[in-house]
């Protein structure tokens, strides 16, 4: 497509455009430039690298789109009101549009032109006209633009999505990709950093989302919108509906790059993304824009449900069983390192978390002997383990949660508490992915101390778990009072899960806990059959057997 003074023609439409002395162009139903004359390119810097939607101001482009929607149903339509370019340059006060029917019977094109006199340097607008135009522009912006982020709002999103769907049904588009995503743990951003932090996170997410749209949207007609709160959506014309999964991953990665530092605290964004795609061959006449957004919304909810609200999950590679960038520490005659064991969702088998173990290293063979309890190691190692776990969680690519075992002695330690407060003050959102774990025997023996520490940790936003749970019904009241997020049960101590009677008992036990917001993770040496049976009994996840590296 040409630029400057070059006339752009499209087959039989060349003579039509050349015959018009005013700026004129042909567009399809969704606003893509098909052809234009030289006068148009003198006024508007459009081209393959700059689609029409990027040439005009948001308010002007919204008005042009409304003109196109009306023009395709009438012989001739006139739109009065100021039209501006992206840089604020005034173009015209009157647009004229008419439908042009192609000879091949395809969807009609729209011929748009305006009087070149309106571009004359002598053309003037009175102060009253200018004030009225500015007021109209402001009102339109409020109606279709999110004031905080500058993105399209819910109303504008549905208008664009409906236009995409109409074009898809008419054969003017090949496919459209619809994304729905919201921010994970966003309430904690407002709670800890105030609305100033929350607003800045939303603005940064909007900028990154807009960048993804520009990269994925070849035709320049897609839209990304803030629907409200921390909820966003996008509708993007694509060549194939299968592209939507890649676009969703790109959007998730773009949101992960957001980090806002305010008053010494760092707030990093994470999101759960749902998506759906529909092609021209799959679309039906009764499909609506609300149907498409509902599908994407349900996809987002399924992602959250699979990971119990934590952002994303993935398979764990064997090489990741040791915390990366984690130096060993010497304690007396022992040399220690941290290793992790995967926690897999019982519903889908994906890794949603890891539990940290402190392992003793054989200095001669450089071999890890396996995990042993932190309560044997004291506050120095507990602080070191927490620090390294938080380092791992703060890395951009880490999207799981980590469980770190602590002891009664650690719970009483001012050093451990100060370390937690210091690290989480710098990055408060890490707290929701840090799980502090105590042995059931410690909880039963020193209930008052553990309960006091749990209150402190939950104010920071940390998760709490109880490990080594034997399935004793008498301890249910203790768990209800403590209100941990997780219980790690040892199926060997509980009894053979292969027994149908014990499976029913375990299911009833897990159901009772789940009603109080406590979820059960099974510790088992097997993965195959145990995984299936854990799912049948309503357990949330499985802790795989430890393997040293």
Question: In this structure, what token pair is assigned to residue 319?
Answer: 């090489």
288-322 exposure pattern, b = at least 16 Cβ within 10 A, e = fewer = ebeebbebbbebbeebeebbbebbbbeebeeeebe
The pLDDT of residue 365 is 42
Residue with token string 């399809």: 28
pLDDT of the chain along its 549 residues, tens only? Answer: 333 333 333 456 677 777 777 888 888 777 788 888 888 888 887 776 677 877 888 778 877 877 776 666 655 677 777 787 877 777 777 788 877 766 555 666 778 877 654 433 333 444 554 555 555 556 666 677 888 998 999 988 998 899 899 888 988 888 999 999 999 878 888 888 888 989 999 999 999 999 999 888 766 678 999 999 999 999 999 988 889 999 999 998 899 888 888 877 778 788 889 999 999 888 888 999 999 999 999 999 887 765 543 333 333 232 333 444 445 555 555 566 777 777 877 777 777 777 777 666 554 444 444 444 444 557 877 888 888 888 877 775 555 678 888 888 889 989 899 989 888 887 887 888 888 988 888 888 888 899 999 999 988 888 899 888 876 666 777 777 888 888 888 766 555 445 666 677 778 878 888 888 888 888 765 544 666 767 777 777 777 654 433
Q: What's the CATH fold of domain 154-306?
A: Alpha-Beta Plaits (3.30.70)
The set of residues, in sequence order, having a beta carbon less than 8 Å from that of 360 and lying 6+ positions away, is: 334, 335, 336, 368, 369, 370, 372
CB 244 within 8 A of CB 275: yes
- In tens, the pLDDT along 271-294 reads 889 999 999 888 888 999 999 999
What would the pLDDT profile of 19-42 be if each residue is shown by its tens digit? 777 888 888 777 788 888 888 888
Secondary structure (3-state) at 304: helix
Closest CA to 540 of 506, 514, 505: 514
What's the mean pLDDT when you consider all of the chain?
75
Q: Give the number of other Cβ atoms within 10 Å of residue 326's Cβ.
A: 19
**Residue 84 corresponds to which tokens in the numbers above?**
């501006």
Q: What's the pTM value of the predicted model, to 2 decimals?
A: 0.55
DSSP state of 118: G
Say if residue 364 is exposed, middle or buried (CB neighbours under 10 Å; 0-12, 13-18, 19+). Answer: exposed
Residue 282: the pLDDT is: 86
DSSP 317: P
Query: What is the Cα–Cα distance from 361 to 359, expressed in whole angstroms?
Result: 6
Q: How far apart are CA 253 and CA 482, in angstroms?
A: 36
3-state secondary structure 229-245: CCEEEEEEEECCHHHHH
Strands 486-490 and 519-523 turn out to be parallel
Bridge partners, 334 (sequence order): 331
226: number of Cβ within 10 Å? 25
Classified by CATH at the fold level, domain 11-144 comes out as Beta-Lactamase (3.30.450)
Question: Closest by alpha carbon to 484, among 474, 492, 476, 494?
Answer: 476
User: Do 57 and 88 contact (CB within 8 A), yes or no?
Assistant: yes
Q: Are 485 and 463 in contact (CB under 8 A)?
A: yes
* Beta pairing, strands 77-84 & 223-228: unpaired
For residue 400, how many other CB atoms are within 10 A of its CB? 22
The maximal CA–CA distance of the chain, rounded, in angstroms, is: 93
Token duo for residue 180 = 């729905």
Q: Which of 520, 523, 525, 510 is nearest to 540 (CA)?
A: 520
CATH class of residue range 318-543:
alpha beta
Domain spans in the chain, listed from the N-terminal domain onward: 11-144, 154-306, 318-543
């Amino acid at each position: 497509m040409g630029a400057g003074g070059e006339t752009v023609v499209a087959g039989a439409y060349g003579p039509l455009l050349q015959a018009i002395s005013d700026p004129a162009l042909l567009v399809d139903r969704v606003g893509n430039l098909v052809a234009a004359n030289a006068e148009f390119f003198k006024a508007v810097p459009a081209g393959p690298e700059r689609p029409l939607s990027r040439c005009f101001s948001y308010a002007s482009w919204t008005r042009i789109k409304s003109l196109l929607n009306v023009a395709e149903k009438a012989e001739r339509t006139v739109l009065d009101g100021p039209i501006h370019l992206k840089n604020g340059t005034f173009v015209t006060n009157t647009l004229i549009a008419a439908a042009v029917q192609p000879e091949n019977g395809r969807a009609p094109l729209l011929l748009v032109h305006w009087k070149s006199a309106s571009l004359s340097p002598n053309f003037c607008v009175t102060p009253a006209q200018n004030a009225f135009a500015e007021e109209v522009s402001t009102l339109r912006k409020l109606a279709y633009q999110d004031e905080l982020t500058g993105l399209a709002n819910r109303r504008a999103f549905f208008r664009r999505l409906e236009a995409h769907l109409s074009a898809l049904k008419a054969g003017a588009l090949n496919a459209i990709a619809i994304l729905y995503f919201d921010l994970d743990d966003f309430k904690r951003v407002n709670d800890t950093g105030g609305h100033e932090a929350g607003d800045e996170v939303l603005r940064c997410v909007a900028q990154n989302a807009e960048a993804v749209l520009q990269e994925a949207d070849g035709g320049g007609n897609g839209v990304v919108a803030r629907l409200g709160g921390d909820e966003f959506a996008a509708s993007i014309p694509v060549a194939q509906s299968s592209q939507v999964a890649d676009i969703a991953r790109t959007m998730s990665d773009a949101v992960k790059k957001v980090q806002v530092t305010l008053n010494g605290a760092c707030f990093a964004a994470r999101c759960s993304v749902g998506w759906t795609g529909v092609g021209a061959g799959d679309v039906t006449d009764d499909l609506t824009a609300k149907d498409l957004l509902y599908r994407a919304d349900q996809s987002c909810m399924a992602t959250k449900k699979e990971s119990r609200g934590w952002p994303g999950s993935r398979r764990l590679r064997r090489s990741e069983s040791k915390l990366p960038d984690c130096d060993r520490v010497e304690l007396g005659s022992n040399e220690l390192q941290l290793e992790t064991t995967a926690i897999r969702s019982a519903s889908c088998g994906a890794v949603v978390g890891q539990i940290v173990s402190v392992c003793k290293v054989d200095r001669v063979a450089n071999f890890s002997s396996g995990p042993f309890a932190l309560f044997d190691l004291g506050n120095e190692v507990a602080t070191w383990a927490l620090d390294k776990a938080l380092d791992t969680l703060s890395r951009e690519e880490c999207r799981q949660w980590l469980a770190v075992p602590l002891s009664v002695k650690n719970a009483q330690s001012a050093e451990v508490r100060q370390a937690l407060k210091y690290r989480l003050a710098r990055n408060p959102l890490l707290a929701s992915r840090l799980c502090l774990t105590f042995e059931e025997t410690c909880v039963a023996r020193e209930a008052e101390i553990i309960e006091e520490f749990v209150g402190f940790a939950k104010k920071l936003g940390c998760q709490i778990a109880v490990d080594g749970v034997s399935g004793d019904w008498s301890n249910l009241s203790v768990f209800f009072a403590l209100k941990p997020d997780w219980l790690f049960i040892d199926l060997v101590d509980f009894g053979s899960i292969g027994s149908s009677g014990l499976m029913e008992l375990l299911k009833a036990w897990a159901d009772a806990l789940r009603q109080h917001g406590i979820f059960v993770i099974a510790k088992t040496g097997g993965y195959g059959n145990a995984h299936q049976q854990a799912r049948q009994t309503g357990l949330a996840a499985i802790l795989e057997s430890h393997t040293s590296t």
